[in-house]
Structure 1
Amino acid sequence: MTSPRVATRTRQMDIRPKVLGAIGLSIGLLLAATGLARAEDEKIIESHGYSFFGDLSYPADFEHFDYVNPDAPKGGEIAVSAPGTFDSMNPYSRKGRAGRYSWMVYESLLGEMPATGGGLPADQIGESYGLLAERLEYDEGKTWVIFYMRPEARFADGSPVTAHDVVFSHNLFLEQGLPSYAQAVKKRILSAEALDDHTVKFTFATGISRRSLIDQAGSVPVFPKAWYEENGARLDEPRLDAAPGSGPYQLDSYDVNRRIVYKRNPDYWGKDLPINKGRYNFDTIRVEYFADDTAGFEAFKAGEYTFRSEGNSKRWATEYDFPAVNKGWVKLEEIPDLTPPTPTGFVFNLGRPALQDKRVREALSLAFNFEWTNESLQFGLFKQRHSFVENAPHMAQGAPEGAELELLKSLGDLVPADMLTEPSVRAHESRAKRLNDRRNLRTAMKLLDEAGWAVGDDGMRRNAAGEKLVLEIPYPSSSSPTLTAVIDGFAKNLVAMGVDARPDKVDSAQYTLRNRDRDYDIVFDNYRAFLSAGTGLMQMYGSGEADFSLFNPAGLASPLVDAIIERSLVTTTKEDEAAALQALDRALRYERIMVPVWYNDKSWVAYWDQYDHPENLPEYAVGVLDFWWYDAEKAAKLKSDGALR
């Protein structure tokens, strides 16, 4: 699915509304009056939620999601950390650096929001349930959808959430949102119309895939039209006075670059909905900002914030032995994570001429030594990542066969011959005893020689024009010492190849700007894993928006990848969808657009012992801000023991 994108990186998507009829008209008369009368043989699907294959796990009368504690108490505070700085509470602008969780105050028709929120269950893939919309209906061919909204829905200022707000928000993203989002959506959604105050219809283009149409329309964050008009606000500008939302949490206060506080709205309109039972249990969510990860960890030890997700293996292995842990005040958990790990690594900017040669990219990849990194810097706690969907059922394994092979063969000359017969590309192996694996460096140097980058008398690689192979690798000053060491080690091996590698630690704001402007040769960044087919795949990996999409940091533009995505979008069974996604993983790995690094199949969390969570956590989310809760008795004991103030 195409996403509007929270346009801030730390580690995501015009026709004017036409108001028809009078309020007193019945929907049947209204549809007839606007040319929407249905043929008797037209099959109309009505539902409380949406799945492309129509297989919703929760029935219309479900009481709550299976994994929540419906009796979880409400109250208390959870405090978390964020690195670097922020100067905006508008998460949808390319400009500025948005505050963490600033997207959280908004809701959508189907609740499809970043992370786990709204009507998106954390135990299923590809399913969403009505949030602002109580139900929807659409024709079997998915050429249109009508959402029937909940009349009781309210923004935090008490004003009703209407179909006019939905249409306004949809058009706002098309006019002022990210170009990659607007370009993709305009091709698919022809119009959005408010049929009355609480009924909205989207009409879709014909001759395109039916994927990511209904869920796209239902996932747009809804803003109050009146607030934007009264304040002259724009979606593409950073601002600290962001629009009120309809969600359970709203912005309470902020201190720029230091702190953000969100408070649960006691008058939240949707608190009794089945999809919200047992969720959004904290009264307050506090975000504390720190210049770097070391300062953040010291603050956690001192109890300045109370929940920490740990990504630093060295710290997890060696530094969680401070007094609060030994006294039992701080709990440590390793929570199994069944989602495919985020495809993170050193991403090549394919806009740079030197990096357009795949031999060069393969050679540079050999500078990363996973085995040494894991043993020397990460205490052996990580596994090597090979795939864009590591450990998922549709991860490409070995040579293609069966339905995947047939799909690839059907694409003709787009598919290189060796892709049909050779095993899928895997990350290279290295010796763990030393950073410099001479075997890999020799292979890399041969590849660079073949690509026309010869070694000069000064030991530096130059092309036929005498230009040095210079590679800038910017990274934020808030990075952990371990990541800094990883980047430095990668650069040292590049230098050993004769490459002029230049790691560049910059402040967070500058890094954000360079990242958005693609002002780098190599960047430590990520793509997104994919669990199902959707038009968002084009935004991440497709050619159409490759020049400017924030989702595509390499700028990949591959006709083969485009063709596979297109095939995935027209699959009609889960088996064919899986074959297409497997082929996509294979093709992406063949392109060598990034150096895959590591992954962890567990989530490491540490928290002061005043929280609880369901015994059986869902497969696809830790969900600390979603379905954990505050234990007042445990909190009182920590205070009586002098652990927390």
Structure 2
Amino acid sequence: MMQTRLTWCCLWLGLAASFSSFATTSDLHPQHGIAMHGDLKYSAGFSHFDYVNPEAPKGGAMRQAARGTFDSFNPFIVKGTPANGLALIYDTLMVRSDDEPFSKYGLIAAGVKVAEDFSSTTFYLNPKATFHDGHPITSEDVIFSFNTLIEQGNPQYKSYYAGVDNVVEIDPHTIRFDFKPGDNRELPLILGELQILPKHYWQQHNFSRSSLEVPLGSGPYKIASFDAGRKVVYQRVKNYWAADLNVNKGRHNFDRLVFDYFRDTTIAFQAFKAGVFDYHQEYSAKNWATAYTGEVFDSKKIIRRLLDDANPQGMQGFFFNLRRDKFKSREVRQAIGLMFDFEWLNRQFFYGAYTRSDSFFAHSELAATGLPSPDELAILEPYREQLPKDVFTQVYQPPATQGDGNIRPQMRQAVALMEQAGYQLKNGKMLDPQGNQLFFEFLVYDKSFERVIQPYRRNLSRIGIATEIRLVDISQYINRLNSFDFDITTMRQGQSISPGNEQPIYWSCDAASTPGSRNYAGLCNPAVDELVQQLIRSNTREELVLHTRVLDRVLQHLHFVVPQWYSPSHRIAYWDKFSQPKIKPAYAIGLDTWWAKGQDARSSNTKEDTHE
């Protein structure tokens, strides 16, 4: 679903590391990278990642469609709707390899040392690192970036970096992060994700203001031009300081990256077929099955591919806003979930392309299955009084139908659950104890999704529940999510292969009351808070998997989501003007490793790409 594009800053990558994951003794030299578990795949002095072509030519352009509009070039704050691609502007301390579950290698930080007791991490900055204006990147910029993000940035930063106690400048190119007491072993890698802002630039600008003023960065691209709300063009930085580093060899090959904005997905797809842009990722199973026809496809001018996705699929579904009194009852939420006929939708609309979501870590070893194991029960037992009994005694499975449209068994179960919650079905209306009919809105920003919701609405009306669809533009949608102003909305809560410090942002009581957090459901359960902290403190991969399954099991049985579906593959299509390396990274599509071929690589700027 398009919902994944609303993750403006990549804040959900985590891990739990064992002692053997790091070189931790203080007398060792700085390391070139740090890994989730065990050894790094790439040794010191490696030439390039395996999934790139180090000889890939530079040049040409890739044009993509973006959804909705934009009014800001500041992706770090709650205000405004940021443009797509802004992460290209900023370098981070370290960079992830896309063929390992979670390993980081030096970028701005040429080296890193982790204290033996995990009380601190020291980064050694590359003295060649500069911003686009030639100003050197120093420890002052790192300190400024960290403090600015947690003090003025999106509230999720404060939660994400909550384990940091102090930041110390050792010298202009050496900086140490001291950690609070505890056992949070993922902080070194999380800090490696820190995007570095130029202190000298932001001292002259208002960081908290949403603006289309072009910012200063240090990354492989900078904003060359834009048409407010309609298009943004990024130009490859010719004198990019890190162009020849091993972590960048064979990457960032296009001279220009163009994002054209469309408010309607149907119009965007027609524009793609007409050659207005080059690359398209398809989120509709129906379109994938029926719309890719015609001469451009028959002649292979446009190429279609399915790419395996090794990442957990997370949870996509209808998320309840638990801040609403009408959704406080778990029985009410279960009843509403019973009326969603996935099997019928999958047969009628999706050509059987989807698998029903049944886990918050679907399609991975992290997903809870079956009844709790003895080890899981040992973790759950202290919270027995705070959790639904089903957590201990029942295997979670989303409601299932025959797919023929007959949902009478589900209707009977749903009405019984509503009656347990104090409702009564009278004269075709589901009434609460005060005599008010249960009513709620589905908040959506994509008109095409109405076809999925309408059959669901009809089913709900059969048990007397009244609903409406509230269609808003993307900017209003984001603002309403940030302020938790909705009843039910569709989203995908993505997950990494190694969850950790990002989990409180999704599930904690603190995040539930913090506008702009990603706890959209408003989940607040003290047992969940404690289970999340246990997950973060996992010492080994085995412990991490165990604690994640426990958390998943509890989330499943709280019924604050009506699960939808997932596909374990990326559906992509592109005009035949690009080449890719022979090896695809396991954990990414790898667009940053593609390059233009033939005449397309030699093409110059076109008129439509130079709007100001």
Cα separation, 1, equivalents of 2:384 and 2:564:
32
Cα separation, 1, equivalents of 2:180 and 2:602:
58
Task: Select 1:315's aligned residue among 287, 294, 315.
Answer: 287
Shift of residue 217, structure 1, vs aligned partner = 2.5
Aligned residue in 1 for 2:508: 542
Task: Write out aligned runs for 1:537-616 (5 A).
Answer: 537-548=503-514, 549-616=516-583
Alignment deviations for residues 349-397 of structure 1 (CA, whole Å, 9 cap, x no partner): 0001111111111111112111111111112111111111112012111
Is the 2:314–2:359 contact (alpha carbons within 8 Å) kept by the matching residues of 1?
no
| Residue 512, structure 1, aligned to residue 478, structure 2 | yes
Is the 2:311–2:496 contact (alpha carbons within 8 Å) kept by the matching residues of 1?
no
Shift of residue 544, structure 1, vs aligned partner = 2.2
Shift of residue 472, structure 1, vs aligned partner = 1.3
Is the 1:405–1:420 contact (alpha carbons within 8 Å) kept by the matching residues of 2?
yes
Stretch deviating more after TM superposition (351-360 or 58-67) = 58-67
Flag the 1:480–1:297 CA change in 2: closer, same or farther, 3 A: farther
Task: Select 2:301's aligned residue among 314, 318, 329.
Answer: 329
Aligned residue in 2 for 1:174: 150
TM-score (norm 1): 0.87
Aligned residue in 2 for 1:372: 344
Is the 1:525–1:553 contact (alpha carbons within 8 Å) kept by the matching residues of 2?
no
Flag the 1:299–1:344 CA change in 2: closer, same or farther, 3 A: same
| Residue 233, structure 1, aligned to residue 206, structure 2 | yes
Task: Write out aligned runs for 1:137-286 (5 A).
Answer: 137-183=113-159, 185=161, 187-206=162-181, 208-230=182-204, 232-234=205-207, 236-286=208-258
Is the 2:321–2:520 contact (alpha carbons within 8 Å) kept by the matching residues of 1?
yes
Cα separation, 2, equivalents of 1:555 and 1:632:
52
Task: Write out aligned runs for 1:23-172 (5 A).
Answer: 46-53=30-37, 55-110=39-94, 119-172=95-148
Cα separation, 2, equivalents of 1:49 and 1:71:
24
| Residue 455, structure 1, aligned to residue 431, structure 2 | no
Alignment deviations for residues 150-208 of structure 1 (CA, whole Å, 9 cap, x no partner): 011111112111111110011101210122432553x42122122222111111111x2
Shift of residue 407, structure 1, vs aligned partner = 2.3
Indicate the percent of aligned positions where both proteins have the same amino acid. 33
Amino acid at match of 1:554: A
Shift of residue 334, structure 1, vs aligned partner = 1.0
SS at match of 2:464: coil
Flag the 1:196–1:506 CA change in 2: closer, same or farther, 3 A: same
Shift of residue 528, structure 1, vs aligned partner = 2.3
Shift of residue 410, structure 1, vs aligned partner = 5.2
Shift of residue 348, structure 1, vs aligned partner = 0.3
SS at match of 1:276: coil
Flag the 1:333–1:560 CA change in 2: closer, same or farther, 3 A: same
Task: Point out where structure 2 has 5 or more consecutive residues left out of the alignment.
Answer: 12-24, 604-612
Alignment deviations for residues 258-296 of structure 1 (CA, whole Å, 9 cap, x no partner): 111011101011011111111111111000111110110
> Which structure exhibits the higher relative contact order, with contacts defined as CA atoms closer than 8 Å and separated by 6 or more residues?
2
SS at match of 1:47: coil
Cα separation, 1, equivalents of 2:155 and 2:8:
21
TM-score (norm 2): 0.92
RMSD: 2.1
Cα separation, 2, equivalents of 1:277 and 1:452:
63
Amino acid at match of 1:547: S
Task: Write out aligned runs for 1:407-486 (5 A).
Answer: 407-409=379-381, 411=383, 413-423=385-395, 425-434=396-405, 437-457=407-427, 459-476=428-445, 479=446, 481=448, 483-486=449-452
Aligned residue in 2 for 1:32: none
Shift of residue 221, structure 1, vs aligned partner = 1.0
Is the 1:52–1:126 contact (alpha carbons within 8 Å) kept by the matching residues of 2?
yes
Flag the 1:415–1:522 CA change in 2: closer, same or farther, 3 A: closer
Task: Point out where structure 1 has 5 or more consecutive residues left out of the alignment.
Answer: 1-5, 14-40, 111-118, 638-645
Task: Select 2:456's aligned residue among 447, 469, 490.
Answer: 490
Shift of residue 480, structure 1, vs aligned partner = 5.2
Cα separation, 1, equivalents of 2:178 and 2:29:
15
Cα separation, 2, equivalents of 1:165 and 1:62:
28
Shift of residue 243, structure 1, vs aligned partner = 2.1
Shift of residue 508, structure 1, vs aligned partner = 2.1
Flag the 1:534–1:43 CA change in 2: closer, same or farther, 3 A: farther
Shift of residue 403, structure 1, vs aligned partner = 2.8
Is the 2:150–2:157 contact (alpha carbons within 8 Å) kept by the matching residues of 1?
yes
Cα separation, 2, equivalents of 1:184 and 1:308:
32
Matched residue count = 586
